[in-house]
Structure 1
């Protein structure tokens, strides 16, 4: 068991650091631009939800590359791992063009759709446009990170994250307020910082893939187009993208509900979600590790070992989340004060942080076991569960508690964590009640020969 736990930690820690750096960057960026006022905090919060939806539509490609490459690597089929990454990149380019078009033509309409005031729409449309353009580079980076993690290299995604996030922090500080000899651009400067940071991460990822890994894996080899494999990647990417999109669209509608409670409520909600993101660090890190290790064991044909290592990953991650929840509960108000000096904002945010402190364990369970289910390719279950719980439980309950029963922000977060509890329980039950003896590595369906 000790060796398994060490293997898990060796893969998980770089992923946790990677996600942590992204979370800390979001926190620092919000703290920096938050000094411009509650309106700017609200703009950043609404923009984050919109960009989460844009990311969700493309995230399926990265998740698919991650688990398919893990299975290929476990089986020792390195050429297939490279081939699947190349084919995924074609999908990535097409989606990048769509995201760029949305950034050019849709920001103002999306801010209106979110229920933003005329002042918010006018002040935020330029910032949102820059975030869309940055997302084009994010899509490419996520696909490369899926490959790196699939082959068991979690350090390269960590370095990509560092390059991106350090650049974002420095440039946000400089371009927002005119420090470091840079022009003072206000909120637009923060958007430019996102754009440059994401581009830098993509450039580093391409360098590692095509230059550093080529001698060992022949990553610059000519790969002929394989239609059955392309269909497999497109189909799996579609399911995983719809899974994420169902969740992100639900958060989109949820934020639209909160927006109608006023700027202070929206700002408190954004602060609380930002603090919640601290719990996403171990959740995402160990979830990604579960996908890697379960997928590799399935590739080797060691199904029971795959099931066991997924359990160990969830156990370690849960311990860390419990410790984090204790700290958040004790220091909820001092944490909230870091984001805003407005008593109406930080007091409400502190209450919401306390609500989430221990309940975020179920968000962890979802990530841990969903990661394991991705590792075995159980993507249809994840899609059906996400759609049904988001749209049949979460949003109807949020509407009732917020608007019909008048519980405002507290009702919103009770609905959110009721949903997360149900989601965590659903994937846990699925993981342990699957017939693991029948699971095989995912293969493309070859066309029948014509006689």
Structure 2
């Protein structure tokens, strides 16, 4: 959980530093974060799919297959990362126009976006490596990598945004360079761990050949997760584009609220990771009853964690707003309604994220895909659009997000407690 929690904490610090530059840089970053987050999460199957497949075969006592899955994931990461980098650099200005950004925000953001998207191959290598390490139940190494890389990013952020130690103050562009440097370091460390660490030696293959079966198994789970995640990220990007048309202050306020939402969700994802890894392991060892008992405990932990975050957001509302912005317009847009919605749904989020992880570990990704498509496209996107047309403002958009989370709570709970996930993994009957 510490590894996952470090990411949003450092992102929050990054957001606070950029917020001090003014409303336009924060708005430019908001659009870039929404777009890049959406693109990257399409490749999140490199984490979750690899974890599920490696965990299952490790539970079945098949280390050689674990190694094959890892190498195929690295291949997909490298190819996908190069393609994303090229396309992102070419189409950055067009994406900002599509998102409804004004000329000043678009000019600032396009440069920042290009710098950040250039690091995609290294980020995707990190995804595949973390997925493999989680699958073999090594959570310590990803934690160390996360703290080293995010710590470097934070230090470089300060030096390159404001200037220091002889480095020029580059503002938003400096924040992008800091992130790119951290991405390169992350990819390099991951390759060193996989190919030179004694810890992973038993999974290394003397010779690697392309195996269609391994590729297809990763592609199938990747397809379901990519569509599921794509629907979620599309709805979030659509919401951000809608908020951008409400004005720069609304967009900046949305970015702050969204980063707080991601802080809690990414932290609770530590519980989801445990659920995913252990569900895959117990099903691989043909112990579904043990997986179910473990899942109930982790879902309860997710709910408690959500209660803690929700209470914190209510109690610390004003200090959090002051931390991120000095603009009275942004503070007014955030208001009471958005923070109340953000806080009240934290326990719901905790149950959803924990059960998500368990069901992914059980390979029940097709069900999750359809549930997300209905919730994101049936609830969140229409309500975001209505919020703009009917002048409901930021509270309207966040009401849509809250309804999406309520839908996910209902569908995940139904699936988990009815135990339909037991037969989801290919080959089980």
TM-score bin (small chain) = over 0.9
1:427 aligns with 2:412: yes
1:246 alignment partner, SS class? helix
- Is the Cα contact below 8 Å between 1:68 and 1:295 reproduced in 2? yes
Partner of 2:8: 23
Count of aligned pairs between the two proteins: 427
Rounded Cα–Cα distance in structure 2 between residues aligned with 1:247 and 1:27:
21
Rounded Cα–Cα distance in structure 1 between residues aligned with 2:180 and 2:387:
38
Partner of 1:6: none
- Is the Cα contact below 8 Å between 1:160 and 1:202 reproduced in 2? no
Q: CA-to-partner distance for each residue in 1:31-74, whole Å, 9 max, x for gaps?
A: 11211100011111111100011102211222110100111111
Q: CA-to-partner distance for each residue in 1:261-306, whole Å, 9 max, x for gaps?
A: 1001111111111122221133211111110011110011001111
Structure 1 residues 33 and 436, CA gap change in structure 2 (3 angstroms):
closer
Rounded Cα–Cα distance in structure 2 between residues aligned with 1:104 and 1:354:
38
Rounded Cα–Cα distance in structure 2 between residues aligned with 1:297 and 1:342:
51
Partner of 1:384: 370
Partner of 2:344: 358
Partner of 2:96: 111
Pairwise CA distance, 1:26: 0.7
- Is the Cα contact below 8 Å between 1:303 and 1:436 reproduced in 2? no
1:222 alignment partner, SS class? coil
Partner of 1:303: 288
Structure 2 unmatched ranges of 5 or more: none
- Is the Cα contact below 8 Å between 1:61 and 1:237 reproduced in 2? yes
Q: CA-to-partner distance for each residue in 1:397-419, whole Å, 9 max, x for gaps?
A: 22223422x22111111111011
Partner of 1:253: 238
Rounded Cα–Cα distance in structure 1 between residues aligned with 2:334 and 2:421:
43
Structure 1 residues 303 and 218, CA gap change in structure 2 (3 angstroms):
closer
- Is the Cα contact below 8 Å between 2:362 and 2:422 reproduced in 1? no
Partner of 1:130: 115
Partner of 1:39: 24
Pairwise CA distance, 1:214: 6.0
Structure 1 unmatched ranges of 5 or more: 1-15, 445-451
TM-score (ref. length: structure 1): 0.91
CA RMSD of aligned residues (A): 1.6
Select 1:57's aligned residue among 24, 37, 42.
Answer: 42
- Is the Cα contact below 8 Å between 2:194 and 2:200 reproduced in 1? no
1:262 aligns with 2:247: yes
- Is the Cα contact below 8 Å between 2:195 and 2:204 reproduced in 1? yes
Q: Which moved more, 1:313-322 or 1:295-304?
A: 313-322
Rounded Cα–Cα distance in structure 1 between residues aligned with 2:110 and 2:200:
45
Structure 1 residues 106 and 135, CA gap change in structure 2 (3 angstroms):
same
Select 1:341's aligned residue among 323, 326, 344.
Answer: 326
Partner of 1:9: none
Rounded Cα–Cα distance in structure 1 between residues aligned with 2:81 and 2:427:
27
Rounded Cα–Cα distance in structure 1 between residues aligned with 2:296 and 2:198:
32
Q: CA-to-partner distance for each residue in 1:312-359, whole Å, 9 max, x for gaps?
A: 111112112101211111111111111111122123325222221121
Partner of 1:238: 223
